[in-house]
Amino acid sequence: MFVDEVSITVKAGRGGNGICSFRREMFVPRGGPDGGDGGDGGDVVFSASHRLTTLLDLRYQRHYEAEDGKPGGGSNCTGRRGKSVEVLLPVGTSIYDLHTGDLLADLVTDGDSVTIARGGKGGRGNSHFATSTNRVPTHFERGTVGEEHELRLELKLLADVGLIGFPNAGKSTLIAAISAARPKIADYPFTTLVPNLGVVRYAEDRSFVVADIPGLIEGAHEGKGLGIQFLRHIERTSLLLHLIDVSEAAVEDPVASFEIMRQELTAYDPELAKRPFAVVPTKTDTAGDGTRLASLQTFCRRRSIPCLPLSSVTRAGLTELITFVGQRIEQLRAAACETKS
């Protein structure tokens, strides 16, 4: 089961109390205060791991609580620190405050770690309060409470390329043709119910990652279909491929389909509409007289939009598409490195 959003509660440990204690030793006429400090409470830490691909585990365990610190002891002994709790998350997980919606952390690299809830501080023992006028202090401090948060975790897939298209546009067939991914493929809408990732090798030591985003339909940004549920997964992609069915069996006009997809992206997030993209007419092996394909190609040519016709079944145009995407991803990666430097 693919789970990409979940709400949980985390609570750090409370600090241990300091204590009031006095030395009682033979042949020592005036034993002074020796109350030790309490230990700090444990933290709640989130770490990103490439071994995880879903938030499924957190759906069944929604509360994480670190251990409290132990109280201090006599002879100025400090209490033991509470054990921290580490929660492993998939790479690409964003952590939000459930109530304010503030982004607290974004774990985008394997091994990224962040302390979300800090443990309370241990209280001081009475040995800290001895003065020249108060040699027998009985005052000590109690430990403070640890932080507690209600969080919303959101997984956004990390991919170079996002495949976007209406149901049955051929996204799953394409990702199966160019990678080792094996998504469910059938001749009815909404076959794919979860995003799929595939790694595509386009040179001896070069590759890119493709994400198949399911369920985009007109009105997806308003919650129709599955679009709003999975559109978040294209937020991290560098390049978008708009797959458009140009076969005889398609109902929608190909140009109208493209414009609807662009409108949905803009309505969901205007920044997505600025992302580099290309158009991929699919199912060209069943395009009939080619009228629909020619119409879309003319539209793209007039607007200087890259257009790469494709048949995943016959593999016509597959090599050209992989080469184009590989080169474009290299350009975008180089530009990103220059921006960072």
The alpha-carbon radius of gyration of the chain (Å, integer) is 29
Weakest-pLDDT range from 207-216, 228-237, 265-274: 228-237
In CATH, which superfamily holds the domain spanning 5-155? GTP1/OBG domain (2.70.210.12)
**For range 212-238, the mean pLDDT:** 64
> pTM to 2 decimals?
0.68
The per-residue pLDDT for range 138-180, each reduced to its tens digit, is 899 999 999 999 999 988 877 889 888 887 778 888 888 887 6
Mean confidence (pLDDT) of the chain: 85
pLDDT attached to residue 104: 94
Higher pLDDT, residue 334 or 181: 334
pLDDT attached to residue 190: 41
Please state, in angstroms and rounded to a whole number, the distance separating the CA atoms of residues 213 and 268. 14
Check pLDDT > 60 for residue 38: yes
Q: Which residues contact 278 (CB under 8 A, 6 or more apart)?
A: 239, 240, 241, 242, 305, 306, 307, 308, 324, 325, 328
Contact (Cβ atoms closer than 8 angstroms) between residue 73 and residue 36: yes
The per-residue pLDDT for range 226-259, each reduced to its tens digit, is 555 667 777 888 899 999 999 888 878 999 999 9
CATH of domain 161-340: 3.40.50.300
Domain edges within the chain:
5-155, 161-340
* Six-digit token string for 95: 């952590």
The per-residue pLDDT for range 176-193, each reduced to its tens digit, is 888 765 544 444 344 444
**For range 7-13, the mean pLDDT:** 96
